[in-house]
Chain A
């Protein structure tokens, strides 16, 4: 859940035109991208406005994947990526910039 959006999914536009509008180019997570083990932890916090403290199920929990991945990357290599998807290139650029490098910007990123 949310792994695709965290790591790969992005609609790329050039001159107002969507350039990755097919599943050949817009990549979603496959069964091979799935982590080898899943552990769900339920954190119970009642919702102030919901009936009996209830809140929507499903996607609420999904929002935690991106911060978890971003935090793990910062913990491992000391750079924080603030926009999704978190691609390997973004991490490498952030690392190079942290070391003081000035890098060519690229429109397709």
Chain B
């Protein structure tokens, strides 16, 4: 069945007609051209389609778009301010925590959720939280360093009103 829904994406309301059978991934990527949201496994296992739903990480490939109304959806595009990179992105750049970068948006958003939930995570907590984000170029050691750097950058940053 088709219906008109309004989704709040990166603090903007988007009204569109979707089929009940469409996943949030299909809507974000194919309709709204938010290219940071990527499909790889399609079964919740890889994290390349990670988005934040009310600040919590989820696999957009497993969610029906019509069930995401009334929630705050954040994709990587909503993380920086359009000009400057977010401290987590900066940390990924300076630690060279990417090669092909296919996995990077999913990792950055998962790190955002992790640091919001556990501001000072141990290595084990980071590994546990990120174990569902796969990186085939296997920059895991660099990613681990990037998380620590991001944590430092965020704790040093002056608190900005959202």
Contact = CB atoms under 8 A, between A and B. Distances in A.
A and B touch in their complex, CB below 8 angstroms: yes
The 9 closest A-B pairs by CB, nearest first: A23-B41, A23-B45, A32-B131, A31-B140, A30-B131, A34-B140, A32-B127, A31-B130, A31-B127
Interface in B11-44: 40-44
- Secondary structure class of chain A's binding surface, majority of residues: loop
Nearest to B129: A31
- Looking at chain B's contact residues, is the secondary structure mostly helix, strand, loop, or mixed? loop
Interface of B: 40-46, 123, 126-128, 130-136, 138, 140-141, 143-144
Contacts, number: 42
B71 to A, nearest CB: 26
B138 A1 contact: yes
A22 B41 contact: yes
A23 B44 CA distance: 9
A29 B143 CA distance: 14
Interface residues of A, number: 13
